[in-house]
Chains A and B, each alone.
Chain A
Amino acid sequence: MTAEVFAIEDALAQYDPVLGLEVHVELNTKSKMFCGCPTEFGAPPNTQTCPVCLGLPGALPVVNAKAVEAAIKIGLALNCEIAEWCRFARKNYFYPDMPKNFQTSQYDEPIAFNGWTEVVVDGETYRIEIERAHMEEDTGKSTHVGGATGRIHGASHSLVDYNRAGIPLIEIVTKTIEVAPDKAAAVAKAYVSMLRDLLLALDVSDVRMDQGSLRCDANVSLKPHGSTVLGTRTETKNVNSFRSVERAVTYEITRQAAVLASGGKVLQETRHWHEDTGVTTSGREKSDADDYRYFPEPDLVPVAPSREWVEELRATLPEAPSTRRVRLQEEWGFTDLEMRDVVNGNALELVVGTVELGVTPAAAKKWWLGELARAANESGVALGELGVGATEVAEVQKLVDSGALNDKLARQVFDGLVKGEGTPAQIIEARGLALVSDDSALIEAIDRAIAANPDVVEKVNSGKPAAAGALIGAVMKDLRGKGDAAKVRELLNAKLGI
Chain B
Amino acid sequence: MGDLTRKTAVELSELMTSGEASSVEITQAHLDRIGAVDGAVHAFLHVDTEGALAQAAAVDKKRAAGEKLGPLAGVPLALKDVLTQDGVPTTAGSKMLEGWKPPYDATVVQRLKAAGVVILGKTNMDEFAMGSSTENSAYGTTHNPWDLNRIPGGSGGGSSAALAAYEAPLAIGTDTGGSIRQPGAFTGTVGVKPTYGGTSRYGLIALASSLDTPGPCARTTLDAALLHEVIAGHDKMDSTSINQPVPAVVDAARRADVAGLRIGVVKELGGEGYQPGVEARFHEAVELLTKLGAEVVEVSCPHFQYALPAYYLILPSEASSNLAKFDAMRYGLRVGDDGENSAERVMNLTREAGFGAEVKRRIMLGTHALSSGYYDAYYGQAQKVRTLIARDFEKAYEQVDVLVSPATPTTAFAIGDRVNDPIAMYKNDLCTIPSNLAGNAAASFPCGLADEDGMPVGFHVMAPVMRDELLYQVGGALEAALADQWGGVLMSKAPELEVTR
Contacts and interface: CB of A to CB of B under 8 A. Distances in A.
B306 interface: no
9 contacts: A51-B102, A59-B202, A60-B237, A291-B371, A293-B375, A298-B208, A298-B318, A299-B239, A301-B239
A57 B372 contact: no
Given A96-B329, A299-B239, A301-B239, A56 B104 contact: yes
Interface string A67-96: 000000000000000000000001010101
B204 interface: yes
Contact of B209 (A51, A291, A299): A299
B205 interface: yes
B367 A293 contact: yes
Contact of B317 (A51, A96, A291, A295): A295
Contacts of B135: none
A411 B237 CA distance: 62
B102 A56 contact: yes
Contact of B321 (A63, A158, A293, A300): A293
A99 B206 CA distance: 15
A326 interface: no
Interface of B: 83-84, 90, 92, 97, 100, 102-104, 106, 201-206, 208-210, 236-240, 317-318, 320-321, 324-327, 329-331, 343-344, 347, 367, 370-372, 375, 379
Interface of A, helix, strand, loop or mixed by DSSP: loop
Contacts of A96: 327, 329, 343
A99 B331 CA distance: 11
Contacts of B104: 51, 56, 58-59
Contact of B324 (A59, A100, A158, A298): A100
A298 B370 CA distance: 14
B352 to A, nearest CB: 14
9 nearest CB pairs, A to B = A101-B324, A298-B209, A293-B370, A298-B210, A58-B203, A57-B205, A58-B84, A100-B325, A96-B343
Contacts of B210: 298
A55 interface: yes
Contacts of B325: 55, 57, 99-101
A102 interface: yes
Interface residues of A, number: 29
A56 B100 CA distance: 11
A160 interface: yes
A61 B238 CA distance: 7
Interface in A88-142: 90, 92, 94, 96, 99-102
Interface of A: 51, 54-63, 90, 92, 94, 96, 99-102, 158, 160, 291, 293-295, 298-301
A224 B97 CA distance: 56
A61 B239 contact: yes
Contacts of A299: 206, 209, 239-240
Contacts of B344: 94
A295 B371 contact: no
A216 B327 CA distance: 30
A48 to B, nearest CB: 15
Nearest to A100: B325
Contacts of A99: 325, 330
Nearest to A88: B239
Contacts, number: 99
A54 B100 CA distance: 15
Nearest to A293: B370
A59 to B, nearest CB: 7
B379 A295 contact: yes
Nearest to B235: A60
A275 to B, nearest CB: 27
Contacts of A62: 236-239
B383 to A, nearest CB: 9
B329 A160 contact: yes
A293 B481 CA distance: 52
Nearest to B83: A58
B462 to A, nearest CB: 22
A426 B239 CA distance: 62
Given A295-B370, A298-B210, A58 B330 contact: no
B347 A57 contact: no
Nearest to A299: B209
A372 B163 CA distance: 83
Given A55-B325, A94-B327, A60 B239 contact: yes
B305 to A, nearest CB: 24
B103 A300 contact: no
B330 A54 contact: yes
Contacts of B206: 57-58, 299
A61 to B, nearest CB: 7
Contacts of B318: 295, 298
Given A51-B104, A298-B210, 19 more contacts: A51-B102, A51-B103, A56-B330, A57-B84, A57-B90, A57-B326, A57-B331, A58-B104, A58-B204, A62-B239, A90-B321, A92-B370, A94-B344, A99-B325, A158-B343, A293-B371, A294-B370, A299-B206, A299-B209
A397 to B, nearest CB: 56
A94 B367 contact: no
Given A51-B104, A94-B347, A96-B343, A60 B324 contact: no
A354 to B, nearest CB: 49
Contacts of B209: 298-299
A63 B97 contact: no
The interface centre, meaning the residue of A57, A63, A94, A160 with most chain B CB atoms within 10 A of its CB, is A57
The interface centre, meaning the residue of A55, A92, A295 with most chain B CB atoms within 10 A of its CB, is A295
Contacts of B331: 56-57
A58 B205 contact: yes
Nearest to A91: B321
The interface centre, meaning the residue of B202, B204, B344 with most chain A CB atoms within 10 A of its CB, is B202
Nearest to B367: A293
The interface centre, meaning the residue of A94, A101, A293 with most chain B CB atoms within 10 A of its CB, is A293
The interface centre, meaning the residue of B102, B343, B367 with most chain A CB atoms within 10 A of its CB, is B343
